Amino acid sequence: MSDILLSIQGLTKAYPGVVANDTVSFDIGVGEVHALLGENGAGKSTLVKMIYGLVKPDSGQMLLRGQPFAPPEPRAARADGIAMVFQHFSLFDALSVAENIALGMEDPPPMRDLSRRIREVSETYGLPLDPYRTVGDLSAGERQRVEIIRCLLQYPRLLIMDEPTSVLTPQEVDILFQTLQKLQSEGTSILYISHKLEEIRKLCDTATILRLGQNVGTCVPAETTARDMAEMMVGTSLQTPERSGRALGDVALDISGLSVPSPSAFGTSLKKVHLTVRKGEILGIGGVAGNGQDELLGVLSGEISTPSDAVMLAGAPVGRLGPTARRKLGLLAAPEERLGHAAAPDMSLTENALLTGAVREKLENRGFLRWGAAQGFAERIIEAFDVRTPGPANAARSLSGGNLQKFVIGREVLQDPEVLVVNQPTWGVDAAAAAAIRQALLDLAAKGAAVICISQDLDELMEISDSFAALNEGRLSAHKDTAGLTVDEIGLMMGGAHGMEVAHV
Amino acid sequence: MDLSAINPVLLIASLMVAATPLLLAAIGELVVEKAGVLNLGVEGMMIVGAISGFAISVETGSPYLGFLCAAIGGAVLSLLFVILTQYALANQVASGLALTLFGLGISSLMGQSYVGIKPPATGEIWLPILSDLPVIGPIFFQHDPILYFGIALVAAVWVLLKYSRFGLILRAVGENHDAAHALGYKVVRVRTLAILFGGACAGLGGAYISLIRVPQWTEGMTAGVGWIALALVVFASWKPWRALIGAYLFGGITVLQLNLQAAGVAIPVEYLAMSPYLITILVLVILSADKSSAPAALGRIFHASN
């Protein structure tokens, strides 16, 4: 590993109001798996965009095998052997696998030859794919395979992967890691961006840690604890959420054998879902996105109407009630999509506080709004959840993702719910804020509320929940106690590796 | 009522003429929408093409030079739409509507001195043997070259979209402009070319009305054909051949109902006049029942920083 493939020297990139990268330097060796770690907004994405030619650095230089390297556009970077798998898949749903791959190549062969090569390469690396399928019909894991194969067909010297595992089941992660290790053994370097520390410890040779755009340290992940790395990322010591022993009370919410068709054409219908949560219990619901999470939240929050006795809140049927009526009874929900679903982007925080808090916080009086009380409520949320904003009059859109998430969760927690349903409570939130949100959920449960936490972050679910169930293609698995649950068991509950069974036939 | 006055051969021959302006405008807009842009200015670009083509062919005496300038005129007007939506990032619906209103206005200004003039005739092709055939000759082989150009254009667009590299990039841009940008494709450039092509086609369609179909110039003479073209693209599920079928269906029923009116059929004229719209929409709705697939980025503003 003495050879250096890419040397990054003092790269700086500033956007109005923020320095995304501040004189960042590090080297990537030939055949090295190099991790790039950091919080949201630490500048990881900007850095890789500069390497890939999407963004031009303000100053500093890069050396590729000792030669100055300044790609003016991605085409040039690809020509020099840099390939990138994007965080948000850069695929075209309506096009076929082969067409998608052709789009990512400089000089694609005719479709028939390309399809044959896709088959060959995909089988060599254990990532089976049918080149004629439409990408819109593929699972998240299969879509990622499309991206990886698109890169592999160009024999890259450096493969950049931006948070590749966030949408995969544990089994799919294993397959991905085997592929990456095979690539590494062939001499391909990999720049691996993630904030999942355990993965990095398993896979990567070196890690560079960014904080607020600066390189704050390099470490060998296998010899560093996850906690130390997290603290380097955050810059302060982390507080692990504390679980206090608590007794479970009566059944707070019960769904038995509910089947609901999805309201959207590409959604997943719920099939015979059984769900029970008791007072003081946190039920974690895992599963890969798009397996019925949105529909389940809709059924619980009241956005999707069901037969009256299908959803029982403390023994009373609420299936036909809408969200406002359910709020009155103490069943609150915070959906996943912050801008547009959980909060109205262009309305102020006060107005957003009113939108869900009006009933329980008595912010309206015979149809007229009590602005003073609403502002007070918004200020309490900002205070209690450390939401960083100049004040409640600011638009929800102006908050960063993590801050808005704290506001959205705080708004529901402060209304003293009997049952709280949250979907992806810490999605896109940095480690410190995520810990605060998890602590708030634990405290809420300790006070006797039932909490249903839908999340794709398994570590999070293991950390806070008392029992665990997984959604797979609209079916909810049986609930199991979190204590003693292994990753393999969880993976099987989530449906294993999607599509792999088909591949071996 | 005298249905025997309707000559089926002439009817079919004239439906192709009636359909061509619609077909030209629709195939242009189809390409624009495949690139993810919704240009509601088709009507405006058509009428500007109609007067540009009319004026130039009257001045020069050459209808073909007129058609060329009509295409240029439509494209120049669409350039305004390019500046508004691709560079100033204005809303596409509002910009398109403004383009139509602007086109209607400027065309009547340009056409003030051309009212009541007859344009030079566009010759018809004459193929030995083929054009002399009974029935088939008048239907298929006695038209003007622009009509054949329109059909060839449909075939060309189909091949381009389905089999060519550029067509793939264009579809990709219309499907997901952020991903196309991330792969290094020039989203704005592709869309600009598509919009200019759409403008040129609309201009040709307009000139076909003023130079061949009607042939004369009156204000607002495109009379909503641009709007029908827009609807046709949607109901044709963004497929070129379906747009051709839809355009011929519309043209056919338009010609038929005119013939029926002339023959004095005992159906109120208003019902006959609305029948082409109704039947075309009905048939295309049934056709598009399979999987109508709008380009996913249709009408969305692209900015590289997002």
Contacts of B182 in chain A (CB under 8 A): 54, 74, 86, 90
**Structural domains of chain B ordered from first start:** 3-119+144-287 (1.10.3470)
> Number of C-alpha atoms within 13 angstroms, CB side, residue A245?
0
Contacts of B183 in chain A (CB under 8 A): 74, 90, 103-104
> Do B29 and B39 meet the contact criterion of CB atoms below 8 Å apart?
yes
A176-190, A236-250, A353-367: range with lowest mean pLDDT: A236-250
Task: Compare CB distances from B182 to A86, A93, A102 and report the shortest one's residue.
Answer: A86
Q: Which of B172, B178, B296 sits opposite A103 (nearest CB)?
A: B172
Q: Which residues of B touch A91 (CB under 8 A)?
A: 176, 179
Residue B244: strand, helix, or coil = helix
pLDDT at A501 over 50: no
User: In A, which residues are within 8 Å of B296 by CB distance?
Assistant: 93-94
Highest mean pLDDT among A80-89, A202-211, B136-145: A202-211
B1-53 pLDDT, tens digit each: 566 767 888 888 888 899 999 999 999 999 999 999 999 999 999 999 999 99
CATH of A4-234, one of 3.40.50.300, 3.30.200.20, 3.40.1390.30, 3.40.50.720: 3.40.50.300
Which pLDDT band holds residue B110 (cuts at 50, 70, 90)?
Answer: very high
Q: Chain B residues with CB-CB distance to A under 8 A?
A: 165, 168-169, 171-172, 175-176, 178-180, 182-185, 293, 295-296
From chain B, pick out residues whose CB is under 8 angstroms from the CB of A48: none
Please, which pLDDT band fits residue A497 given cuts at 50, 70 and 90? low
Which residues pair with residue A8 across a beta bridge? A26, A62
Question: Taking CA atoms, what residue in B is nearest to A46?
Answer: B305
What's the average model confidence in pLDDT over A85-102? 83
- Summarize the confidence of residues B85-89 as an average pLDDT: 92
Q: Is A53 in Cβ contact with B175 (below 8 Å)?
A: no
DSSP string, B173-240: HHH-HHHHHHTT--HHHHHHHHHHHHHHHHHHHHHHIIIIIS-S--TTTTTTHHHHHHHHHHHTTT-H
Domain map of chain A by residue range? Answer: 4-234, 251-504
Residue A474 and residue A461 in contact, taking contact as beta carbons nearer than 8 Å: no
* pLDDT value at residue B138: 80
- Asked if residue B249 has pLDDT above 60, the reply is yes
In order, the DSSP letters of A476-490 are EPPPEESTT--HHHH
pLDDT reading at B210 higher than 50: yes
Instruction: Give the per-residue pLDDT at B151.
Output: 95
User: Would you tell me how many other CB atoms lie within 10 Å of the CB of residue B115?
Assistant: 11
Contact across the interface for B182 and A102, Cβ inside 8 Å: no
Q: Which of B216, B213, B284 is nearest to B250 (CA)?
A: B284
Distance CA A280, CA A287 (A): 23
Buried b (16+ CB within 10 A) or exposed e, B175-206: bbbbbbbbbbbebbebbbbbbbbbbbbbbbbb
Is pLDDT at B65 greater than 90 in this prediction?
Answer: yes
- Encode pLDDT of A415-450 as tens digits: 999 999 998 888 767 777 888 889 999 999 988 899
Closest CA of chain A from B46, distance in Å? 31
Indicate the Cα dihedral angle B52, B55, B59, B64, nearest 10°.
Answer: 50
Per CB-CB distance under 8 Å, the chain A contacts of B169 are: 103
pLDDT over 60 at A499, yes or no? no
Please indicate whether, in this complex, the C-beta atoms of A92 and B165 are within 8 angstroms of each other.
no
ipTM, interface predicted TM-score of the complex: 0.79
Contact yes or no for B165 and A108 at CB 8 A: yes
Which chain B residue is nearest to residue A107, measuring alpha carbons? B165
For every residue of A410-430, DSSP letters joined together read HHHHTT--SEEEEESTTTT--
Whether pLDDT at B266 is above 90:
no
Distance of CA A245 to the CA centre of its chain: 29
Instruction: Place B109 in a pLDDT band, splitting at 50, 70 and 90.
Output: very high
A266 pLDDT tier (thresholds 50, 70, 90): low
How far off is chain A from B290, nearest CA to CA, in Å? 14
CA distance A292 to chain B (A): 23
Residue A259 has pLDDT above 50, yes or no: yes
Rounded CA separation A284/A308 (Å): 25
User: Is domain A251-504 in CATH 3.40.1190.20, yes or no?
Assistant: no
Whole-angstrom distance between the N-terminal and C-terminal Cα of chain B? 65
